[in-house]
Amino acid sequence: MEINTRMKKYHHYLTLLSLFMLLGILKLQAAIQLPAIFSNHMVLQRNSELTFWGWGIPGETISIAPEWMKGEIIKTQVNNTGKWSARVPSGEAGGPYEIRFSGSSEVTLTDVMLGEVWLCSGQSNMEFPVKNAVNGKLELSRCERSRVRYYHVQRSGVMHAAYFQNERKNRWQMPNPTNVAEWSAVAYLAAKELSQKLGVVVGVIGCNYTGTSASCWVPSADLTGHTALHPYWAAYLSACRGKTDAEMAADYAAYLAYQNAWEKRMTACYQENPKIKWNQVLERCGENRYPGPMGSRNPLRPCGLYKTMLSRVMPYTLRGFWYYQGENDDNRPDSYAQLLTVLINRWRKDWGDETMPFLIVQLPMFSYEGEESRTNWAELREAQMQVFRTLRNTGLAVTMDCGEYNNMHPADKRTVAHRLALQALYRVYRAIPAMDAEAPYCKNAYASGGAYILQFSQPVVAKDGEAAVFELAGTDGVYYPAVAEFRDNFVRLTSPNVRIPASMRYAWRNWCDVGVYGKNGIPVASFRMPK
């Protein structure tokens, strides 16, 4: 009898506990949930149709009341998977506004601005923070006066429990010295210039990861679907073959332990001697094992960051993309044009706009000691130019003169940012003429007698009388230095070693003089004719 009574009480307790748990679950389900990128202080694209999305109870009606719509309410319904989305018209630049999301619960976002929104992506030179840039301290001292806001996409190559916990803490950031110190220098300075020129708040979504190939930022179908891109995916599969996920996790953990210690030693070397050569660093610090063993835990694996980073903010309404990457694809320059084209088309498709502006930062001159005569960076610059010349609504910020010898991470990001801003002001906002924004390019080339004639898109000059790095070759394909004569838009090339020129090239090195500029101060990029 006593046992039965105890059992009844126990069952009653379990029933109540289950009821409370169920009520808790229902309460959680009832709460309107928004992606982390929808937060206080966010910037929304002006004069557009905004995409909002989130989660709730299947069948529930969600009402969206943006303050700028003056009482008008947009309604949508949660689908059977618990997700909802809605299209909401924005308006002219302005704010701050509130947006109220309501259903069985309510969420209100405050200090929302309508302005311009750009997603910046790439690898370490795009990630390079304001605090480390030339004049970084000066920028930080006056950043609170800027009208730039920033959202960091969580920087992770693996989605685990901690990933989602950390993501929920993400918020749009306001400009203050602590925040801006960690923002992308290129993105911040370009956004600041746009804000000043356009008179609006500019929002930047930072989606960058050091050391990434462009193959990290597309889905696997885009690599397997193009023959030229098969090597990226095949190399990854080969590296993973025969290994379990646990084994790959252990391998990568061991690599991180070694590499973190190695990087501390490397940092100490550069602190002791900022001009130390790379081979000396390796002698003192030991093997640099970067980028580590390829596998399911390596963030630099093909297609990984497309899922763990880019997709997390897709399809937040944008004006366009800023992209600064290519250094880690210099081993495959021949396929880079196709890879970058695939990436651009994929991102545009994911955002539902086949003509969304995509502005590219071209790689500068760069070489480690002893590799000056290599041409793989020149070939990659050529690939970037090819994409720009063949894909509509793209722009190219030429930065040939922004590199540093023996340093892949030049600290002058202001010039890079300025030229990126010029591309946006001309190509997207039509606020300046082409002559102010564009690098000169060769639009026509032909042999004439014993000379090779180049016709540029605008007048070009040799900077400070420097010898321009032009070369000529005959039908044998052997190149010799050429003498360049400048006259307005034309350059006449001759060489005593080439009687009948068949081809030419300019600055076709990883590192050489950057001697030819337009009158707007923007340099001519590496090129060859015919390609």
How many Å apart are CA 99 and CA 67, to the nearest integer?
A: 6
What DSSP string runs through 35-50? Answer: -TTS-TT-EEESSSEE
Query: From its phi and psi, is residue 57 left (phi > 0), alpha (psi between -120 and 50) or beta?
Result: beta
Q: Is 71 left (phi over 0), alpha (psi -120 to 50) or beta?
A: left
Per-residue confidence (pLDDT) for residue 465, from 0 to 100? 62
- Single-letter amino acid code for the residue at 154: Q
Residue 389: pLDDT band (50, 70, 90) is: very high
pLDDT for the residue numbered 277? 81
- Res. 484 pLDDT band, cuts 50 70 90: very high
Q: What is the pLDDT, as a whole number, of residue 3?
A: 36
| Amino acid identity for residue 357 in this structure | P
Tell me: pLDDT of 26 over 80: no
With tokens 């391998």, the residue in question is 251
pTM of the complete model: 0.91
Residues 6+ apart with CB under 8 A from 148: 175, 188, 191, 192, 195, 201, 202, 203, 204
Using CA atoms, how far apart are residues 32 and 44, in angstroms rounded to an integer? 20
**pLDDT surpassing 60 at residue 11:** no
End-to-end CA distance of the chain: 95
pLDDT tens figures, 335-350 = 999 999 999 999 999 9
Q: What is the pLDDT of residues 149-174, one digit of tens each?
A: 999 999 999 988 889 888 999 999 99
Count of all residues that appear for the chain in the document:
531
The torsion defined by the Cα of 121, 123, 124 and 125, in degrees rounded to 10, comes to: -60
| pLDDT above 90 for 2 | no
Above 90 in pLDDT, residue 529? Answer: yes
Tell me the C-alpha to C-alpha distance, in Å, between residue 150 and each of 41, 42, 117, 402, 498: 9, 8, 10, 25, 55
pLDDT confidence band for 466 (50 / 70 / 90): low
Assess whether pLDDT exceeds 80 at residue 106: yes
Report the pLDDT value the prediction gives residue 220, as an integer from 0 to 100: 96
Nearest residue to 304 (alpha-carbon basis) of 222, 213, 216, 244:
216
User: 452-464: per-residue pLDDT in tens?
Assistant: 999 999 999 998 7
**Is residue 14 scored above 90 in pLDDT?**
no
Rounded CA separation 41/32 (Å): 19
Percent of the chain with pLDDT over 90: 86
| DSSP string across 291-319 | T---STT-TTSTTHHHHHTGGGGTT---S
> Is the distance from CB of 400 to CB of 364 less than 8 angstroms?
yes
SS (H, E, C) 465-487: HCCCCEEEECCCCCEEECEEEEE
Confidence of residue 278 (pLDDT cuts 50, 70, 90): confident
DSSP one-letter code for 510? S
> Half-sphere exposure (CA, 13 Å, Cβ side) for 273?
8
Position 195 pLDDT exceeds 60: yes
Domains of the chain, by residue range, sit at 1-30, 442-529
Local confidence band at 19 (pLDDT 50, 70, 90 cut-offs) = very low
pLDDT of residue 467: 66
pLDDT-derived band of residue 531, with 50, 70 and 90 as boundaries? Answer: confident
Whether the predicted pLDDT of 4 surpasses 70: no
Mean of pLDDT values over 202-212 = 97
Residue 1 has pLDDT above 80, yes or no: no
29 pLDDT above the threshold of 60: no
Question: Considering just the CA atoms, what is the radius of gyration of the chain in Å?
Answer: 27
